Amino acid sequence: MEPTRQKTSADEYGRGATPVTAPLSTSLNTPEAARSPSLDAFRVVAITCVMLAHGSLLGIDSFPGLRYVTIIFGVIGVELFFVLSGFLIGRQLLNVGEGTQSIPNFWARRWLRTLPNYYLFLIVNWALYVYGLKRPAGEFSLLVFSHNLVTPFNTAFFAESWSLAVEEWFYLIAPLPVFLLTLVFSKSQKFAVLGAMIAIIITCTFARLGVAQIINSSIDSALRKIVVLRLDALAFGVLLAWLQRYRAPTLAALARGWWRVLGIVLLLAAIAYLATLTEALAFFAAPTDRDRWLAPLLFTLLPISCALLLAGAQAVPMQGHVWISLQSKWAYSTYLLHFPLLLLILHFWTEPKSATSVALALGGWYLATLAGAAIIYRGFEKPLMDLRMRFAPVKTE
């Protein structure tokens, strides 16, 4: 029996708002999916936060306190990415739960989307370290995303890869409990994804609480960046996708009124706690007795607030903007390119840095990153993305 899907309109998310999804055939099987301005803006905010955090390294000598403020932006930016990724791939996980998309097809589409760029930049980082920075390069574990699977990853080589490992392992693992729960909920398969995501969230939350009681490593490396402790960040995004398909009125309620305010309040509370950690450098130290309880819950609170804000973003009337759309398309390449370029600047720029020179360097780095990301997207990333329609199409009948 073909599963019934609830259809939603823009008015369910706010008068004049852009619908969150295009028709399935458009959103999954065409070279240029119909884009949502609100999701594009959400993605641009995320990558901007990450670049603000890393870019502050250019001014760390002249403005040492700036680094500890912008770290907060970096943490939030990655959490925004996690929730958004979960929301977008959640649609395909729902297809898996309904039996309209196979698990191998799900994996193939994800890997064709993410792995080519990852391995390209693994090579770029290796060449940068060996020939440019004259430092030891990475290790074999980076090839299989096991470098931060269960232990901290404390090398500067390809440092941004920790978050990509979280996403890749989520793509690999998440369909499996969904499939198992379809056997349990054989007559109501829509609950398979819901049950799987709730199980992941509960497991990761209690795992973080348990690990926090025994670790002597930093909150950043041992709680925030361990794959098996962070899978729930994407699960919150998948829950939004589940609500969108099966409980549209509930999602509409989340997108309006005090739920949106709650998302802002929770985010501000998380920022306030993060500020206490970064100001005292506790974020990069073993947790205190207080933080052994609060820090694990921080990484539950952040994705909840980001999920509420993502839901709320759908209720904001927004017209598409070419520059926002382009930056959104380039976001993955931007994420991978910005840090190697930054390392090159830091390596060769050894003289004292004034406020003016830092501002000029930041502007040049930002523009060079966007230009490089645009070239990589057009010449490498997008052609390989288009292969998904050829080798891993989604059945839409």
- Residue 206's contacts (CB-CB under 8 Å, 6 or more residues apart) are none
**What value does the mean pLDDT take over residues 286-295?**
92
Angle among Cα 295, 297, 301 to the nearest 5 degrees reads: 115
Structure tokens at 298: 């921080």
Q: Where are the beta strands (DSSP E) in 146-271?
A: none
pLDDT of 26 reads 29
Task: Find the mean pLDDT for residues 365-376.
Answer: 97
Task: Classify the C-alpha dihedral 229-231-233-239 as positive or negative.
Answer: negative
- pLDDT for 259 equals 81
d(C-alpha 347, C-alpha 372), whole Å: 19
Structure letter (DSSP) for residue 158: T
Q: Specify the amino acid at residue 292.
A: R
Give the lowest-confidence range in 23-37, 38-52, 218-232, 235-249. Answer: 23-37
> What pLDDT does residue 280 have?
63
- 30 sits in the region (left: phi over 0; alpha: psi -120 to 50; else beta) called beta
pLDDT of residue 342: 95
Would you say 309 and 260 are in contact if contact means Cβ atoms under 8 Å apart? yes
- pLDDT of the residue at 164: 97
The answer to whether the predicted template modeling score (pTM) of the entire model surpasses 0.85 is yes
Query: What's the whole-number mean pLDDT along residues 121-147?
Result: 90
Q: What pLDDT sits at residue 292?
A: 94
Model pLDDT for residues 339-359, shown as the tens digit of each residue = 999 999 999 888 877 888 888
Of 227, 81, 85, 107, nearest to 171 (Cα)? 107
As a whole number of angstroms, the distance between CA 271 and CA 158 comes to 26
Structure confidence at residue 139 as a pLDDT band (50, 70, 90): confident
Cα(303)–Cα(81) distance, rounded to whole angstroms?
10
- Residue 395 has a pLDDT of 61
* Structure confidence at residue 12 (pLDDT): 36
359-364: which pairs have CB atoms within 8 A and are 24 or more residues apart?
A: 361/58, 362/55, 362/58, 362/59
pLDDT computed for residue 94 by the predictor: 95
Q: What average pLDDT does the segment 285-308 reach? A: 94
Mean pLDDT of the chain: 86
| Most confident segment among 151-155, 214-218, 231-235, 284-288 | 231-235
Output the pLDDT for position 113: 93
82's enclosing H/E stretch is: helix 64-98
Query: In the predicted model, what is the mean pLDDT of residues 44-63?
Result: 89
> What pLDDT, on a 0 to 100 scale, did the predictor assign at position 393?
81
Rg (CA), the chain: 21
Tokens 């709320």 -> residue: 312
Which string of DSSP letters, residue by residue, matches 325-338?
HHHHHTHHHHHHHH
* Ranges 137-141, 288-292, 351-355, 356-360: which has the least confidence: 351-355
- pLDDT beyond 70 at 27: no
State the distance between the two ends of the chain, measured CA to CA, in whole angstroms: 13
Judge whether residue 335 has pLDDT over 50.
yes
Contact 336, 50 (CB under 8 A): no
Query: Length of the chain in residues, anyone?
Result: 397
Q: What is the pLDDT of residue 19?
A: 34
pLDDT at 15: 33
Looking at the predicted structure, is the pLDDT value of residue 25 above 70? no
**59-104: pLDDT as tens digits:** 877 776 777 788 999 999 999 999 999 999 999 999 999 999 999 9
